[in-house]
Amino acid sequence: MAEQLTYTSAIELDKKDSLAPFRNEFYLNNSNIYLDGNSLGLLSKRAEKTLLTLLESWKTFGIDGWTEGDHPWFYLSESLGEQIAPLVGAKAEEVIVTGSTTTNLHQLVATFYNPSEGRTKILADELNFPSDIYALQSQIKQKGLDFHEHLIEVKSRDGHTLDEKDIIAAMTEDIALILLPSILYRSGQIVDMKRLTQEAHKRNIIIGFDLCHSIGSIPHELSEWGVDFAFWCNYKHLNGGPGAVGGLYVNEKHFGISPGLAGWFSSSKEKQFDMEHILSPAHDAGAFQIGTPHVLSVAPLIGSLELFSEAGIENIRNKSLQLTRFMKDLIEQEIGDAHFIFRNPDEDHRRGGHLYIEHPEAARICKALKDKGVIPDFRSPNGIRLAPVALYNSFEDVWNSVQILKEIMENQTYKNYENKRGVIA
C-alpha cells in the first residue's frame, strides 16, 4: 500500500471516475450498499423501459409481435447476440442469446462430446460451480459411461485457485473435451483462456469455458483465441434480471455441425415455418437454440446492453480493478488484525470482479453486514464475496462498507447471529 487511504481518497477517486454518471441509470436503495452484483445485478432504468416496451408490443400487436414493433421477437435472440459479441470478442453470428446456463451447457456438451476409441474422458476441475459438474456427469451417463471413471477433475493446490500447468498436464490422450470456468466463482481467479486453448488444440481436444463470472466484468477475445465454445448467464454483471435468458458462443469453424439437442428454434429462419420433419439447422450459432425465446425474460437485456456499449468493457474493467484494489487495501489498513484471508490472486491480470475473503465467522459476519445495510454474498463454509460493480458502485460505497465491517469486527456484533447460512447464501 503506497499511502494511507482516507475518506477523502475515496471522494477524489469518485470525482475522477468517468463511469460515475452510469450510477444514475440504476435503481439504488439509498438505505444499503449493494455488493452482490456478481450474483444478481441491479435493475437499470433502461432495462425496465425495454421490458415495458416488449409488454407493449404484446399488447399492441398480439402474435404479430413476432415480426412487428421496435424489437421483433422472431429475431430477438440474434439481435442480442450481435450486441453481446463485442463483450466476448466474437463475431455477431457466433453468439446467440438463448436458454439457461445449464441448458446451454447440456446443448454444447451433447454437440461436442463424442467419445471414441481411446478418447472418452471429459476434463474439468474440482473448483467449478456444482451445476456444471452435474451436467457433465449427466452427459457422460447419457453415453453409457461411468462418470466416476470418465470425468477427470483437476485438483487445486491450495483449495482456491488452479495452476494452468496442472490443467495442461491433465490434457492426456484420452481426453475428448475440456470444460473450465473463465473466473473461479470462489477466489475470483481468471484462468488463462488463451494459453489453455492453445494447449488443448495442440492435442486436438475441444475446449469450452463457463463465462458466468467474467462476462460484463472483463474483456474476452474468444474468436482470436480460437475457443471452441462458451456459455454464460446474463443476470450477474450484465444485469439482465433474475433468471434472465442465458447466452452461448460457438466458433465459426464449427458452423454446419448438427446440434446435439435439436429443437424448433435450431432451424434456419428461412426454413423454420416450412414445417418439415427433417431439421435444416441455422448456419450460425442460432443452430444451438432449442425452444422458443422467452421474450419477456430477455427484454431487460436489451436496455442493459445499451449501457455496456456506451461505457465500454475496457473502461468497466479498469474501474473494477481500481475498486477491488481499493477495497482490499482498505480492509488490510483498517482491520488487518481481524484474521481475514484473501483468496484472490493479487495480480491484476488474474483477478476478476469480486473479492473472496475467508473468516471462521463468515456466515454471521454476512448477517451482521446485511443488518447494517451492506449486501454481501456468503459461500459455505467460510467465504465472504464482495463485488463492487463498476457501473453502479462508487469508491465512497467501498469506504463506507469497510467502515461498517470494521465496526462489526471491533464490537464483535457478529456474535449476535448464528454462524449458519440462510436458505439462500
Question: Mind listing the pLDDT tens digit for each residue in 90-106?
Answer: 999 999 999 999 999 99
Q: 1.20.1050.140, 3.40.640.10, 3.40.50.720, 3.30.70.20: which CATH number matches 49-310?
A: 3.40.640.10
- Residue 371: per-residue pLDDT: 97
Quote the percentage of the chain above a pLDDT of 70: 99
Has 146 been labeled as part of a binding site?
no
Has 106 been labeled as part of a binding site?
no
Q: What is the mean pLDDT of residues 274-286?
A: 95
Q: Which of 268-272, 390-394, 407-411 has the lowest mean pLDDT?
A: 268-272
The pLDDT confidence band at residue 3, using thresholds 50, 70 and 90, is confident
Has 359 been labeled as part of a binding site?
no
- Residue 2: per-residue pLDDT: 61
Has 300 been labeled as part of a binding site?
no
Compute φ and ψ for 109, nearest 5 degrees. Answer: -70, -40
Residue 258 pLDDT > 80: yes
Has 102 been labeled as part of a binding site?
yes
Has 132 been labeled as part of a binding site?
yes
- Residue 1: per-residue pLDDT: 47
- Residue 421: per-residue pLDDT: 78
Contact 206, 254 (CB under 8 A): no
Provide the 3-class DSSP secondary structure of residue 36.
strand
Contact 357, 343 (CB under 8 A): yes
What is the overall mean pLDDT for the chain? 97
So what CATH class is 7-31+312-416? alpha beta
Residue 307: count other Cβ atoms within 10 Å of its Cβ.
Answer: 22
Going from N- to C-terminal start, the domains of the chain cover 7-31+312-416, 49-310
Instruction: List CB contacts of 339: < 8 A, sequence separation 6 or more.
Output: 359, 360
Has 6 been labeled as part of a binding site?
no
- Residue 250: per-residue pLDDT: 98
- Residue 425: per-residue pLDDT: 64
Has 264 been labeled as part of a binding site?
yes
HEC profile for 129-185?
CHHHHHHHHHHHHHCCCCHHHHEEEECCCCCCCCCHHHHHHCCCCCEEEEEEECECC
Question: Mind listing the pLDDT tens digit for each residue in 178-225?
Answer: 999 999 999 999 999 999 999 999 999 999 999 999 999 999 999 999
The pLDDT confidence band at residue 60, using thresholds 50, 70 and 90, is very high
Has 235 been labeled as part of a binding site?
yes
The pTM (predicted TM-score) of the whole model is 0.96
CA neighbor of 22 nearest in space, from 386, 394, 318, 373: 394
CA neighbor of 405 nearest in space, from 414, 396, 394: 414
DSSP assignment of 264-332: GGGB-TTTGGG--SS--B-SSGGGG--S---HHHHHHHHHHHHHHHHH-HHHHHHHHHHHHHHHHHHHH
